[in-house]
Chains A and B, each alone.
Chain A
Amino acid sequence: KNEVEQSPQNLTAQEGEFITINCSYSVGISALHWLQQHPGGGIVSLFMLSSGKKKHGRLIATINIQEKHSSLHITASHPRDSAVYICAVSASNTGNQFYFGTGTSLTVIP
């Protein structure tokens, strides 16, 4: 069973396009995380949110707790945005576990 599902698995976009990555989860959560991993690189936390919306530069993350759904948007995409984006949740029932999606591989073509 997958507690966290992401879509799409792979995404190719032209530079400048608006990009949306979706995440659905099935467990009760205390927070949802969007993570970024460049090829061969470590994992960096982009956002942690438990309600509403957060914005950082060209990145916007939203969450709908009732629908158990979150989206990550990238405006005016750039080749340097090419990376794997991972959705993860801090589960509220276990108290200390994270559950991870399998990631969305984004390629932005110049």
Chain B
Amino acid sequence: DAGITQSPRHKVTETGTPVTLRCHQTENHRYMYWYRQDPGHGLRLIHYSYGVKDTDKGEVSDGYSVSRSKTEDFLLTLESATSSQTSVYFCATRQNTEAFFGQGTRLTVV
């Protein structure tokens, strides 16, 4: 699966605290994505990157920021976590039209 590693796998945090999720890939794929998965919704795009330092917003980007300083790492930051950001977060990469997914990070904001 393109050697995608997400960290942490599980996190519980308090409302108002900053949180950073990491996605690391070993296959040198250009495109990387952060999605959130919630009951009743398909995976929804938060942000994506099309190269180092090149990122763009997805449909649910409010409250999230991203950074990509190296090809292999794509960071998702919640500047001030809210309970509505409790979700499972998936990182994905793309090679041509093929998609590869990480194992997911379960984030709970209490």
Residues B48 and A43 in contact, CB atoms below 8 Å apart: no
Identify the 5 closest CB pairs spanning chains A and B, nearest first: A100-B42, A42-B103, A31-B97, A43-B101, A100-B43
Interface size class of A (residues with CB under 8 A): 20 to 34
User: How many residue-residue contacts, CB under 8 A, span A and B?
Assistant: 59
**Residues in A70-86 with C-beta less than 8 Å from chain B:** 86
Residues of A contacting B: mostly:
strand
Sample of 7 A–B contacts (CB below 8 Å): A31-B97, A31-B98, A33-B99, A48-B97, A88-B99, A99-B42, A100-B43
Chain B 55-78 per-residue mask, 1 if CB under 8 angstroms from chain A, else 0: 000000000000000000000000
The distance from the CB of B18 to the nearest CB of chain A, in whole angstroms, is 25
How far, in angstroms, from A98 to B101 measured CA to CA in the complex?
12
Q: Which single residue of chain A is at the shortest CB-CB distance from B43?
A: A100
